[in-house]
Amino acid sequence: MQAHAEDLRAELPDLQPASRDALVEEILRDWRTAEIPEPDRLLCRYADKLTRTPAAMTALDVMELHEAGFDDTAIHDAIQVIGYFNYINRVADAFHVDLEPGMAPYPDETMSRG
């Protein structure tokens, strides 16, 4: 998560460092309660739903993103990024790649990692 937090900080160059850090920490705690623009909140909700319940996705999910101002290219790009992160996280979980500091341990800590 910290690597992603640093990426997010880099994407927010117009904010003062203290404001940027506070926003990133809010998002890390819970994007649902963070003070982010509504289009960003909708995109986060879309990513959360696609990650947790992909079979529940409907055309309405895409329509909401269109209504929030995302065009087809932006939605396509978001789906590609969300899908890739879901894929690579599953690969990392399958191989029990070492976790970042502060992440909850795997349920079965007797498994070797590497």
* pLDDT above 70 (res 103): no
* pLDDT above 50 (res 8): yes
Torsion, Cα of 95, 97, 99, 104 (10° steps) = 10
User: Over the stretch 65-93, which tens digit does the pLDDT of each residue have?
Assistant: 999 999 999 999 999 999 999 999 899 88
Binning pLDDT at 50, 70 and 90, where does residue 105 land?
A: low
* pLDDT above 70 (res 108): no
Classify domain 37-114 at the CATH topology level: AhpD-like (1.20.1290)
- Least confident segment among 20-29, 43-52, 88-97: 88-97
- Is the Cβ–Cβ distance between 53 and 82 less than 8 Å? no
